[in-house]
Structure 1
Amino acid sequence: MNIKRKVEVVVISDVHLGTYGCHAKQLLTYLESINPKTLILNGDIIDIWQFSKRYFPKSHLKVIKKIMDFAAQGVDVVYITGNHDEMLRKFTDTKIGNISIVNKLVMEIDNKKAWFFHGDVFDASIQNAKWIAKLGGYGYDLLILINRLVNWALVNMGKEKFSLSKKIKNSVKQAVKYISDFEDVASDLAIEKGYDYVVCGHIHQPKMLIKKNKNGETTYLNSGDWVENFTALEYQFKRWKLYSYKDDKRTPFFADSELKEMDFKELVAAITILNPDDIKASR
């Protein structure tokens, strides 16, 4: 029998529900394996930019239902808005039960300050950054679709899969520079503000590293994504860990029986039924 892991803080970002690139089944399997105290959704969870009634499969609805179940069970769920779900920013500081919507978050963890935000705010301040931001839109989704077809062919030929988008990012100097600049700007600001940790998403590059400058140091953390990397950040036993679904060797968890048995209409009904008394705004 699988025992769910207790985790103090879990951070996921860049899920892009509603797009072909989203790997909702793998994410759901991961969510079923943990028992978090706080779940931080650090932007681009639902891809409102590309939302279409034609494509929002059952597995994507199950992820939303699972997150709502966490909240119903007492888990603090913090939804930090990103650029692909920026429409939710008009609901900033709204609280629905145990789910709160914010633009950024400062949390004290074991006497250390952690600063959470998605990271798209840097796109306007880093030179030559706009073109790579567009990679997260329709072009990126198309690239993922092509990549799936290529990988299907490679697997059938007995060869290993590979990531087209990663190859492009790693081979284009501007992309590499953008990622480096992003990490430097985030870390320099965190040091200036006196934060021990700065936790971002946005660039789909999972990372944990100590950044230093003449004014001090901070730990830069990026939760990666659930399009290519299948990663999350976990805080437990006074330390951060970068979780990788691809490297997880434990017996897989599967969606609970209730979620398995629900049809599409039941899932939609379960997600959309809200109690007006639970909705609070602190603005």
Structure 2
Amino acid sequence: MKKRKVDLVVISDVHLGTFGCHAKELLLYLDSIKPKKLILNGDIVDIWQFRKSYFPKSHLEVIKKVIDLSAKGTEVFYITGNHDDLLRKFTDVKMGKISVLDKLVLELDGKKAWFFHGDVFDASIQNAKWLAKLGGWGYDILILINRFVNWCLIKMKREKFSLSKKIKNSVKKAIKHIQDFEKVASDLAIENNYKYVICGHIHQPQIVRKVNKFGTCLYLNSGDWVENLTSLEYHKGKWNLEHFQKENYEKEVVSTEEDLSEIQNLVAAITITSKQ
């Protein structure tokens, strides 16, 4: 496959080390691009949910791929999130072309862009970390159940669906949380004269123009690689929200038999963890 040249790519919320991570799909996407800059905007490795019993080869290959990209000239910025907050001890450390940061400001074609993960706006993270971690475990189990359900649906030649998206979209409080998040981020960006504000954290891919009485900015969210499989691309002065589509790639991602085998491995991992 011929690699697409891209000025800048933003990926967030990969959650390597969890059952829901779509590492194989992410590898296909990373193999298809040649970015000048790669911004990993938080929650790439899920240290909160990390367990010795579950860290597949494909998850390690994602880390290797990022290192390979940096070795070939791509400038990599790793912005820490809440699930990989232990890396904040290494803020401002630079290893070759890989930098670890809490936030980042870049100038893109004369316009300032502000990149940060977004967990700073989340009261549940700041004030009750243990509760947030418990919620993360529950979310992981929900994703595992969803994979099994979708495997059954594929066997019956029916369309897949997302349990977590359905729950989020039916809960008014969740919708309001997303709206509040976008408003706070964009208001702060406008106040500080940033033309772009780019976040992750809420797993809600988005590109939308935000306006208040003081000005305007473009709010962008890179989504995630658990449910949405999305990234942001900036090239030749334009932003694009890229949705991973299996049929756009030459190699097959995963067969249904492999899916079932993986589900069995995931169940075994949960069993081992629960006994620890």
Band of TM-score, shorter chain: 0.7 to 0.9
The aligned residue for residue 226 of structure 1 is: 225
Are 2:3 and 2:34, in contact at CA under 8 Å, matched by a contact in 1? yes
Give the letter for the 1:166 counterpart. Answer: K
Q: Deviations over 1:181-218 (max 9, x none)?
A: 00000000000000000000000000000000000000
Aligned mates of 1:209, 1:131 — CA distance in 2: 33
In structure 1, list runs of 5 or more residues that go unmatched. Answer: 256-283
What is the CA-CA distance between 1:251 and the residue it aligns to? Answer: 3.5
Give the letter for the 2:244 counterpart. Answer: Y
The aligned residue for residue 139 of structure 1 is: 138
Length, aligned pairs only: 253
Aligned mates of 1:9, 1:48 — CA distance in 2: 26
TM-score (norm: length of structure 2): 0.87
The aligned residue for residue 55 of structure 2 is: 56
What is the CA-CA distance between 1:39 and the residue it aligns to? Answer: 0.3
Gap change, CA 1:26 and 1:109, over 3 Å in 2 = same
Q: What SS does structure 2 have at the residue aligned with 1:59? A: helix
Are 1:207 and 1:220, in contact at CA under 8 Å, matched by a contact in 2? yes
In structure 2, list runs of 5 or more residues that go unmatched. Answer: 254-276
Aligned mates of 1:166, 1:131 — CA distance in 2: 24
Q: Deviations over 1:106-149 (max 9, x none)?
A: 000100000000000000299x9989955861011000000011
The aligned residue for residue 280 of structure 1 is: none
The aligned residue for residue 188 of structure 1 is: 187
Gap change, CA 1:136 and 1:17, over 3 Å in 2 = farther
Tell me the C-alpha RMSD between the 2 structures: 2.3
Runs of 4+ aligned residues of structure 1 deviating over 4 Å after TM superposition are 128-136
Q: Deviations over 1:130-169 (max 9, x none)?
A: 8995586101100000001111111122211100000000
Q: Deviations over 1:41-97 (max 9, x none)?
A: 000000000111111110000000000001111110000000000000010000011
The aligned residue for residue 110 of structure 2 is: 111
Give the letter for the 1:199 counterpart. Answer: I
TM-score (norm: length of structure 1): 0.85
Gap change, CA 1:95 and 1:232, over 3 Å in 2 = same
The aligned residue for residue 82 of structure 1 is: 81
The aligned residue for residue 267 of structure 2 is: none
Are 1:123 and 1:129, in contact at CA under 8 Å, matched by a contact in 2? no
How do residues 141-220 of structure 1 correspond to structure 2 at under 5 angstroms?
A: 141-220=140-219
